[in-house]
Amino acid sequence: MSYQALYRVWRPRGFSDVVGQTHITRTLQNAIMQEKFSHAYLFSGPRGTGKTSAAKIFAKTINCERAPIKEPCNECSACLGIQDGSISDVIEIDAASNNGVEQIRDIRDKVKYAPSSVKYKVYIIDEVHMLSIGAFNALLKTLEEPPKHVLFILATTEPHKIPLTIISRCQRFDFKRISQHSMVERMELITESEKVSVTKEALEAVALSAEGGMRDALSLLDQAISYSEEQVELNDVLAVTGSVSQKKIIQIIESMYDSDVQKALQHVDDIIQNGKDPARFIFDLIYYLRDILLYKSAPANENILERAILNDVFIHLSERMKASWIQQSISKLNQCQQEIKWTNSPKVFIEIAILNITEHQQVASKTENSTILETLTRKIEQLEKELTSIKQNPPVANENGQAQTVTPKRTQSRSNKNSYKVPYERIRQVLSEASKTELKHVQSQWANFMDSLKKKSAPAHATILNSKPSAASEQALVVSFRYEIHCSLALDHRQTIELLLAEVMGKEITIIPIPEAEWQNVREDYVKNQHQQEELSGDKEPQEDPLIEEARKLVGDDLLEIHD
């Protein structure tokens, strides 16, 4: 078989070929040039990020016939021999299959022998975390004090499984995931050299699916090349990887945000029917929402995007969506991701998650609309009150002929947002329908009502304690309060108060709270208006007895009874 996979053909041969790990390659090069490299190294990081390749390049560079140099020449017998594996002094060991004490003891016994072909003997132990405890113990002493001609390079994807006694004897280098931009640049160089036509969108899709691993990216690119015809396009990559296109993800997110359940479920059905991986779809959806949220919060950090391709559609979507909705959607999708791991019906759980997200958005929209409607209603009511006030107190001309507004005695509203707003129109309506008989009936039962209220609800009783019935009609009762704050508190317990009042009085009665000071003003205004109407109609009654008038001022109409 003459064909070789791309990741094998394009395996890095020098430090400059190691993509996205400049912080490591530069350190190693400086150490080689200064001849201050260590006897043991630990390379850790995700798969496919260049750990074993860097180890092999390091072995070539220190053994190159032109050393010390920053890059291996890849021309001398030492470089060529290490590259093709013909030099026995550079030994690569797979710890996954050679993890016993015997293999490590064999290494320990052979390190004392000098290298035969090159200057340094190098042991590269891959997946070192797979060694047994006994093997680690056998390696300890040799790793701490090896001969001057021996170097150990340990590579692992799971450094947390390595004993601290081993880690402390090594210089540790952490390889990071390769950025999408770096992988695309590397693949463009490779496809150009291989004379393969691949679109930019296809390369970006490959880089997204590789999740930071260059080897995975080249393997996926190899598959896409085999799958395609003349040119590798986005759909070819999506078919190979099982991923969903960014366009489709945007359509689903917009449908959920617009509360279009039918369209969102139709998109999900199309994705599953086309053979896409459900788990991969949820994964892509979560990370795309994550990219929107992060870009929305910090637009300058474009390099932190992991799934999204920055374009006008993505920017518009990030500006339109609310951060709170994105966070809640990610939370629900994450729960769905956990659930589909243990089910044979992942589509059902995905549909439920979509419905939950859409339903939450519908509730949020209704709440927002309700709040707006309530605000508009309050403004309309305020305007109606102001209009009524103007009608009742029309502007009059002063001596200069200019319009002058008659200012009423009381203020229509308070500037303090926490103050109680008195419903003057309703109180005037109650006064026009009120009778002393109704008020006396309420007053006779008020003590019983207060006792019953105290037993049923102590908080409600406390709010209405310093109050008294002041005017009553068939259906409403005006209650004056000593303190204004108790008016607002009474409304909080209105349902409890009115239900109990209905039981005591034998009929439904609506309570209307008012502060005592305001009640006196309203009552005086009402009496004056009544007198003025009587004077205008010519039905003015005879002058009241001065004694009765004085008594009325002292005790008020509520406590005054006149007998012939």
Query: What tens digit of pLDDT does each residue of 62-110 get?
Result: 999 988 899 999 899 999 999 888 888 999 998 888 878 888 888 888 8
Average pLDDT, the chain: 83
Q: Where are the domains of the chain?
A: 6-174, 180-241, 246-361, 424-555
The span from the CA of 339 to the CA of 345, in Å, is: 10
Instruction: Assess contact for 122 and 91: CB atoms under 8 A.
Output: yes
Q: What is the pLDDT of residues 183-229, one digit of tens each?
A: 999 999 999 998 999 998 889 889 888 888 899 999 999 999 988 88
Closest CA relative to residue 18, chosen from 46, 56, 64, 53: 53
Note the CATH number of domain 424-555: 3.30.300.180
The pLDDT of residue 330: 93
Which of residues 60 and 526 earns the better pLDDT score? 60
The pLDDT of residue 561: 66
The span from the CA of 138 to the CA of 140, in Å, is: 6
Q: In which region does residue 228 sit, left (phi positive, over 0), alpha (psi from -120 to 50) or beta (all else)?
A: beta
Contacts of residues 373-376 at CB distance under 8 Å and 24 or more positions apart, as own/partner, are none
Banded pLDDT at 537 (limits 50, 70, 90): low
Contacts of residues 258-264 at CB distance under 8 Å and 24 or more positions apart, as own/partner, are 258/361, 259/358, 259/361, 259/362, 259/365, 260/358, 261/354, 261/355, 261/358, 264/354, 264/358
The pLDDT of residue 410: 47
The pLDDT of residue 465: 81
HSE, CB side, 13 Å, CA atoms: give it for residue 500. 21
Closest CA relative to residue 286, chosen from 235, 341, 343, 244: 244
Note the CATH number of domain 246-361: 1.20.272.10
Place of tokens 């499984």: 161
Percentage of the chain exceeding pLDDT 90: 26
The span from the CA of 528 to the CA of 522, in Å, is: 10
The span from the CA of 48 to the CA of 337, in Å, is: 25
Helix axes 436-456, 494-505, angle to 10 degrees: 120
The span from the CA of 458 to the CA of 439, in Å, is: 25
Banded pLDDT at 122 (limits 50, 70, 90): very high
Write the CB contacts of 331 (distance below 8 Å, at least 6 apart in sequence). Answer: none
The pLDDT of residue 81: 92
Q: What is the pLDDT of residues 444-462, one digit of tens each?
A: 888 888 888 888 888 788 7
DSSP three-state, residue 309: coil
Q: Which CATH architecture fits 180-241?
A: Orthogonal Bundle (1.10)
Instruction: Assess contact for 17 and 134: CB atoms under 8 A.
Output: no
Q: CA dist 349 to 70, 280, 520, Å?
A: 55, 14, 65
The pLDDT of residue 275: 82
Q: Which CATH architecture fits 6-174?
A: 3-Layer(aba) Sandwich (3.40)
pLDDT at 415 over 50: no
Q: In which region does residue 431 sit, left (phi positive, over 0), alpha (psi from -120 to 50) or beta (all else)?
A: alpha
The mean per-residue pLDDT over the stretch 507-515 comes to 88
The pLDDT of residue 218: 92
The mean per-residue pLDDT over the stretch 135-143 comes to 87
pLDDT at 404 over 60: no
User: What type of residue is 548?
Assistant: I
Place of tokens 């150990």: 152
Question: Which of 183-197, 199-213, 326-340, 403-417 has the weakest average pLDDT?
Answer: 403-417
Which of residues 398 and 529 earns the better pLDDT score? 529
pLDDT at 418 over 90: no
